[in-house]
Structure 1
Amino acid sequence: MLSVCCFLLLTPQESLSRYGKTYLLPDKARMGKRKTSVRKRTVSPIYNEVLRYKIEKMVLLIQKLSLSVWHNDPLGRNSFLGEMEVDLAGWDWRNNKLNWYMLKPRVSPVGCQEAKSRGSAKGGLEYIPEPVSGRKTPPSGEVHIWVKDTKDLPQLRPSGVDSFVKCYVLPDTSKKSYQNTRIVKRDSNPVFNHTIVYDGFHTEDLKDACVELTVWDHEKLTNHFLGGIRLGLGTGSSYGIAVDWMDSTQEEVAFWQEMMTTANEWIEASLPLRSLAGKRKLK
């Protein structure tokens, strides 16, 4: 059992409502988040709260504790104030004293260093356009997605990773859109060799759609997010509406564009897995 004691003292220029938030990295799934209560109208909030994680000691030694402080906005637009990280591999577990740490500016979650640490995914895409004529042929086109394998996945347990890949074609997040591969057990370089087919695509839909592939570590009680990719044009909007998931990197955009301009042919690529804002929760 890991207990994190939060005794926070802040001195910004204005009085705000503040709370603390913790994660165990590299897993930043919602199930791994813990929060303190909100302290209002004080420049020196004291929490005196214990945030608990039930986790094996061996797993804990390969993770980092992330603690961040936020301003609580009643309208929901919470503001980041600062964060710190503790590498638990070097933590002195006999230490019962309070430790003070300087809060630092936020580090970009999509940096190259983090992308490498999450591993990579290899696969292919093929677009089959809608037929020009013919009553017996399908009325629309298809996108074929080949999930071949992933490499160098983060090790969350000493026994290895039990991983699988789930897929959505956004903006559709319904059960009809969701598909997944089989689970490959105890392997940091799992081979899935799984093909996913989505129909109902017209050529003009490709500029507003986005294929979201996410890799998960499977456990009985919850699944842990390991990393993902988003294949689309990365325009920030879909069908004229601003969305956070249309955020493809240059490599991901290039892969999607090549598929759009090379109809009826498989194209392959290996892309780094990364953190994803607003990723779908697995039920």
Structure 2
Amino acid sequence: MRMVWTFLFALATSVAFAASPEDDYIAARDKAIAAIAALNDANTATETIDAQNEKALADLQQRLAGIIGPLAVKDFPATGTINIKSLSDSDIGYGMLDGLRYTKGDDGPSLVATTRGLLERWLQAKAAETDESFKLPASIDEALKLDAFYTQAINSDAAFEGTLDLPLKRPEGADIAFARLGGWTQDVGPIYEQEVIVTLVKGNSVMITAAPAAPAVPKIPACDAVWAAADAAAQKFQEAYQASDLKDEKAFESSNAAWDKGDSDYRACMGQHLPGDPAFPALLAQAQALADQMAGK
């Protein structure tokens, strides 16, 4: 009898500590990152590194497909491609959210799907970052409130700048439904081509959809005037900097400060005025429709 119980205990213990598919994925991803880092350190030819990167990404994509399963969201394909762009920390697209990306053409909406477990692991790693510019809170609720989350999670070549949050009615069965309006940029100033980004957490499923704002976010003269004044002030500081023989650093810093403040004031102005614009109800409706679509309604 003791042998039977010993066997059963050993079996139960092995099952309890067996690696999950998510554990296997993370281990494979980290191993691939380490291998590519070693190739970079050895000054391996770029072509060899690129080939290794593509091979590893293909393997990780297959693992993610097994974890996430087929997507069942109306108007999106059932299969996606890996969201991470590169496994080399020297490349753009390194460190993006572990998940699969589904698209409806180059200019259409995109959807990134992952699991709650993978998102939580990703956020925990971001929370432990020593570089403050990459640091994010470990809490999903708190992370979704930050533009830096979307910048790091779902895009590789531009920063996300939020305009305002769009209130949602949480679909039945969803744990979290959050929507933000904003745009992607590599500079300061107005962003006229914006997107509605909606995140839905339902059980173990996490989906983030980004769609071009429909209708387009209107230009609000009062806010454009705020930016124009800030830009004019910054340009004067730039002229003073260029005219100085010693390249007055104070003038240079003042110009950047004026642009940064103007950018912040412009977005605050848009957040204040946009809810009263005739286009706003349609933007709300678009965000709600995306949330409902992801929830299977």
TM-score range, shorter chain: under 0.3
- Structure with bigger gyration radius: 2
Tell me which of the two structures has the higher relative contact order, counting C-alpha pairs closer than 8 angstroms and 6 or more residues apart. 1
Q: Which has the higher strand share?
A: 1
Q: TM (normalized to structure 1)?
A: 0.28
